């Protein structure tokens, strides 16, 4: 049996337009404005209120973090013990059991109950039949177990050609690799946690069901 800790969500995001709205009339004295209708998160997991810019340390002191707009389509994406999330092989889920990357007790502990089977937590949602790129993102706490592998998987199905991609993360070293399918991934070191993201494109073959899961 193994235990691993996750924070936040498997946030399934669709890449949209720029979230930063800057008045380009530089010839007059109008100041730049910033709008964002929902909360957002800094690199270390700290939540920032709507319409407040995120400041990150850059090469020349602090800078405003600018990303494309995103929409989280998963329900209860920070509550893995809630109904939309389904337990595969029935892992034990303990809510608010550890300190998350934002410094609050909001991390979940997921305990694998099998030695030879994957235990996983998943949610299904509906997506358009197109070629949009989708990104799943989750925070995983570091540990010293060098043989442990954490998986983040996205499956698009319902059409004539399904898409199935998994990225595997070593929770001790932060090394990661795609071991099923095709896509891109990124691992960020944010202190006590790894921030793992996986980006996968749908293929316009009729896939309208998105399955998102994390497993060990």
Which domain CATH number covers 104?
2.60.120
If asked whether residues 97 and 6 sit together in one domain, one would say: yes
If asked whether residues 95 and 182 sit together in one domain, one would say: yes
Q: Could you tell me which residues come within 8 angstroms of residue 206 by beta carbon, excluding any fewer than 6 positions away?
A: 129, 158, 159, 160
For residue 158, the model assigns a pLDDT of 98
For residue 179, the model assigns a pLDDT of 93
For residue 21, the model assigns a pLDDT of 32
Listed in order, strand segments (DSSP E) in the chain are 2-18, 40-41, 47-48, 55-58, 61-64, 68-72, 86-88, 92-98, 107-112, 120-126, 133-141, 149-157, 163-170, 176-180, 184-189, 193-201, 209-215
Higher model confidence: residue 214 or residue 157?
A: 157
- Per-chain mean pLDDT for the chain: 80
Q: Is the pLDDT of residue 194 over 70?
A: yes
Split at pLDDT 50, 70, 90, the class of 77 is: confident
For residue 67, the model assigns a pLDDT of 66
If asked whether residues 29 and 124 sit together in one domain, one would say: no
Split at pLDDT 50, 70, 90, the class of 97 is: confident
If asked whether residues 122 and 172 sit together in one domain, one would say: yes
Paired with 41 in beta bridges are 47
For residue 162, the model assigns a pLDDT of 98
If asked whether residues 208 and 119 sit together in one domain, one would say: yes
If asked whether residues 25 and 93 sit together in one domain, one would say: no
Q: Is the pLDDT of residue 20 over 60?
A: no
User: How many domains is the chain built from?
Assistant: 2
Split at pLDDT 50, 70, 90, the class of 204 is: very high
For residue 12, the model assigns a pLDDT of 47
If asked whether residues 106 and 164 sit together in one domain, one would say: yes
Cα dist. 1→117, 154, 216 in Å?
10, 24, 10
User: Residues 107-129: what's their mean pLDDT?
Assistant: 83
If asked whether residues 134 and 36 sit together in one domain, one would say: no
The one-character DSSP state at 206 is S
Distance CA 131, CA 126 (A): 14
Higher model confidence: residue 73 or residue 175?
A: 175
- Domain end among 66, 81, 101: 66
If asked whether residues 149 and 124 sit together in one domain, one would say: yes
Q: Cβ(104)–Cβ(50) under 8 Å?
A: no
If asked whether residues 206 and 124 sit together in one domain, one would say: yes
- Domain end among 31, 47, 66: 66
Split at pLDDT 50, 70, 90, the class of 156 is: very high
Closest CA relative to residue 176, chosen from 165, 167, 188, 164: 167
If asked whether residues 169 and 191 sit together in one domain, one would say: yes
Q: Which domain holds residue 156?
A: 2-15+71-215
If asked whether residues 75 and 55 sit together in one domain, one would say: no
């Amino acid at each position: 049996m193994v235990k691993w800790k996750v924070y936040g969500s498997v946030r399934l995001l669709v890449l949209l337009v720029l979230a930063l709205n800057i008045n380009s009339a530089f010839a007059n004295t109008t100041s730049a404005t910033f709008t964002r209708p929902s909360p957002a998160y800094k690199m270390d997991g700290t939540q920032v209120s709507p319409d407040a810019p995120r400041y990150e340390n850059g090469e020349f002191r602090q800078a405003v973090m600018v990303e494309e707009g995103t929409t989280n389509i998963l329900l209860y994406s920070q509550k893995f013990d809630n109904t939309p999330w389904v337990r595969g092989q029935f892992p034990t889920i303990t809510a608010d059991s550890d300190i998350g990357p934002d410094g609050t007790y909001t991390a979940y502990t997921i305990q694998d109950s099998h030695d030879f089977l994957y235990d996983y937590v998943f949610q299904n949602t509906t997506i358009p039949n197109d070629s949009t790129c989708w990104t799943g993102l989750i925070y995983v706490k570091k540990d010293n177990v060098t043989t442990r592998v954490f998986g983040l998987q996205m499956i698009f199905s319902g059409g004539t050609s399904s898409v199935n991609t998994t990225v595997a993360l070593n929770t001790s070293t932060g090394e990661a690799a795609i071991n099923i399918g095709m896509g891109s991934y990124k691992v960020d070191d944010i202190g006590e946690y790894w921030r793992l993201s996986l980006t996968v494109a749908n293929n316009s073959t009729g896939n309208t069901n998105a399955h998102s899961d994390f497993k060990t």
